[in-house]
Chain A
Amino acid sequence: DQQVKQNSPSLSVQEGRISILNCDYTNSMFDYFLWYKKYPAEGPTFLISISSIKDKNEDGRFTVFLNKSAKHLSLHIVPSQPGDSAVYFCAARPPGNTDKLIFGTGTRLQVFP
């Protein structure tokens, strides 16, 4: 069973507008959430994270929102740029003394001019 779900396999957004990528999780004990970005033929790279004790974290054009009651987080990119076109993975850290991350299936974002 997927503990971290990204139900939208793809998203297409016009340059300059907002991109919103969504992620749902099942385990209320997850204590840290991260977003990774992946370009073709490259490994995923870290983008932004949020602790479960917060509900928002912002870094430049990227903002992550966490709604614990809904077990939902989202990544907002404003304004979207063509260089943001990539696959975005949501990840969560299980409780306990572990550094492993559980990833979702990814959402492919395409930003067109």
Chain B
Amino acid sequence: DAGVIQSPRHEVTEMGQEVTLRCKPISGHNSLFWYRQTMMRGLELLIYFNNNVPIDDSGMPEDRFSAKMPNASFSTLKIQPSEPRDSAVYFCASAKPGASRLGNTIYFGEGSWLTVV
């Protein structure tokens, strides 16, 4: 079975440019998460969708960040304009309903490595 698929795997962009990261969750999973990994803060939750609806976006750093989930099989995270401090690994993850309550788990993609110069 295909896991969570993210693209691009690596992106290097110049400061001020728009960056779009893409995610295809596991089929049948109705929760989708965007996390960002940095050395200082570990894995930070940016936004969480349930049934394509944003439930919690309190982790989105500022207005430069936006996320959409137009359907159950696709989500994007956009940064506009990008800044060097946005350089990090961005992970998308998905889960079945009640996954963490069951001690089941959420499943992560391989990440998108973003470098803003």
- Tell me the B residues contacting A by CB distance below 8 Å: 4, 31, 33, 35, 39-45, 48, 50, 55-56, 91, 93, 95, 97-101, 103-111
Contact = CB atoms under 8 A, between A and B. Distances in A.
Contacts of B55: 98, 100
A57 to B, nearest CB: 9
Contacts of A83: none
Nearest to A9: B39
Interface residues of A, number: 27
A91 B108 CA distance: 14
Nearest to B105: A46
Nearest to A5: B42
Interface of A: 2, 6, 31-32, 34, 36, 41-46, 49-51, 89, 91, 93, 98-106
A32 to B, nearest CB: 6
Of A36, A42, A89, A98, most buried by chain B (CB within 10 Å of CB) is A98
- List 8 tightest A-B contacts by C-beta distance, closest first: A43-B108, A105-B42, A46-B105, A103-B43, A49-B103, A93-B100, A100-B48, A99-B31
A105 B41 contact: yes
Contacts of B91: 43-44
B100 A44 contact: no
B94 to A, nearest CB: 10
Given A36-B108, A100-B56, 18 more contacts: A2-B42, A31-B101, A32-B100, A41-B111, A43-B107, A43-B108, A44-B108, A46-B106, A46-B107, A49-B103, A91-B43, A93-B101, A98-B48, A101-B45, A101-B106, A102-B45, A105-B41, A106-B43
Contacts of B110: 41-43
Contacts of B45: 100-103
Of B44, B105, B108, most buried by chain A (CB within 10 Å of CB) is B105
